[in-house]
Structure 1
Amino acid sequence: MKLNQLRSLSEWSIVHRRLLHQQPEISGKEYKTHEYIKKIIKDLNLKILDYPYPSLIAYLPGTVGNKTIALRADIDALPIQEEGDKDGYMSQIPGVSHVCGHDGHIAILLAAAKWMSENRGLIEPNVKFIFQSAEEITPSGAQELIQAGILNDVDAIFGIHLWQGLEKGKIGLNYGPMMASVDDFEVTIEANGGHGSMPHETIDPIYIASHIIQSFQAITSRQINPMEPAVISIGKIIGGTNYNIIPSTVRMLGTMRTVTPETHRFIQERIEQQVAGICSTFSATHKVDIIKGTPPLINDEEQSRYVEQVIKSYMGEEAFALMGITMAAEDFSFYLQEKPGAFIFVGIKGEKSRFPHHHAKFDLDEEVFESAIQLFINIVLDYPSN
């Protein structure tokens, strides 16, 4: 691909990214986003396949057609009020914003689809362009599409994430485990409240909760091999009505993240056992609810090494970065449980993208769009037909 073509594609995608950025929609309700993508796909004369709405799946038949490659972008935004200055393209929807980068993912995949539709004679495999709803919630849009058969005829699937944790100019992945599983949990402590001046006549669920929180930290620091990544975090505590009243109930909501099924099972068991033991010690009752989320994201080694060669061939040896494991989660992991493929980080870290994902001031460095578009196109162009 000529440099001027790539630059033109990138400029085209940036225009669409900024328009999408102004009209973000939360998970499962990306109705206007769907219509926006649909118009462009129709203009490109690509077939739209029948899959659950508001996801949108476009299809390009290849000249050989022995293989089918899927490329995926997530399309949902977050329930966060955007802050900062986006040079005239701030979110126009109160309390909702694209502060994870999904607007960029949409625009990049649209640009790749545009080039392939205009150069059909060069595309050997069939290509599915997956614009997926509801990446940020459970159950996720990936699960819904898989249940609908999205991967039945797919040989390999690839996705990107514009990644603030990787420096601009680098493109990286891992050959195996790359991102963590995530499950949420809720602990309810039922006790016996009373007046704050007479704690001896109560069973204090706030005091009990403090012991439970401390015990959770001992799971990751003292019960799991320190070489095995694992996280337990409490993000919300609900309990009490006034400073001098000991409540009868406390609820705690948290998350647990692991990279292996064995550690996942162990942490779940220990959470349940330690809550039961501590509540019994203090004569309280309890309930533990585990809300199953996404599995760990594990790249296929063969497909990952293929992507590595694509990166090095077109962007240079120095562009490739071998990633470690991040404890963030991604529902692309559901696809990789079904079919071989790879999830790829495109680095954006720098002055323009100095705030982390999900921060109210997060922004994308659009200068990396050229590399991301080229990556998608060359993954398809170089993919072996046999």
Structure 2
Amino acid sequence: MARAVLADPRWQEYVTKVYPKLQYLLSVCTGSSILARSGLLDGKRATSNKEVFEWVESLSSAVHWIKEARWVVDGKIWTSSGVEAGTDMAHAFVATLYGDSVASQLANILEYTPNTDPSWDPFAAVEYPSVDATSIPGEVVSRDNLPVTRWGVLAFDGAIGLDIAAAACYPEMITVDTPMLGTVSFIGPSPAPVKMASRALNGGQRLSVTRTLSDDMEHLDVLVVPGLPTAGPFPLQSELVACIRAIFPSLKHIMSIGTGSMLLAEAGILNNRKATTSKQLFDSAISLYQKEHAITWTSGRWVKDGNVWTASGSASALDACAALCVEMYGEDAMQQASKYMEYLPRLDASDDTFSKVWSRRA
């Protein structure tokens, strides 16, 4: 986030106002700069994004900044390093609140392997290019006359939030300090915000869409189809399938995440192809598309067949997107994006430990 935005005093005023009533306060990445400016970290241990660590550190000498940490807990305040360090911190937070078994169960459902050591951050020693105090990192590289890659992510009520976040991470970060341009559109059934999956009453994240299913989709290069926490049916399934079927011929790539593969199968995109899906819901998800569609369902963290990519669980999508970015932009650009995300991608598609966890056949 641009530093000028983080310096807006309204953020500091808000966190200072609500802090006394909070049981916990968590910051991810440069969110710690807001806490530092507000004085809430005075006398406490904390960490922050490694790319701009020295800048965040300079905001307050009253904070004991720990660069080597992946995340830090001091009282009711939790601070994490970069974006994906926040996921590791969230796992530890869930374990603290609800116990290790609940945290492990969620990790298995998401097909996510957490880093459970808060004291070690592999990105602490990485060198990042310097940027000025008002820029975002991507502004330091000229991109004149370079093509734009247009990504679209389907968004609908009940979709898994991490599916959508994982799909957006690499397209966003691939533009940081690289000569790549990209846009990400969130495509919903209507202009109204969509509500992510949640069992909590009135819970669930709400996502603002930027395009609708009725808009012209001919100029998209990549379409990502997230899944549900169940084997369906999907809301507005016929409309989603019709959109996928219509746009597929003009796409460079299409990717499903988790049970999003069911929509690809229904659209006929997976006919005579290899594919995978959520390992937790593997049998349920493939039961309708086993024989008549001539799909070879298999194990794998993700499966690529031509320009069709199917990622297994939610966290697998990060690795599938990393592999797709290697194909589209090259290894160096993908590694740069991973560095800014503070994520170590798993680039072996066959490294599918969660097939064994869920005892799914291959």
Length-normalised TM-score, structure 2:
0.24
Larger Rg: 1
Relative contact order, higher structure (CA 8 A, sep 6+): 1
- Of Structure 1 and Structure 2, the greater strand share is in 1
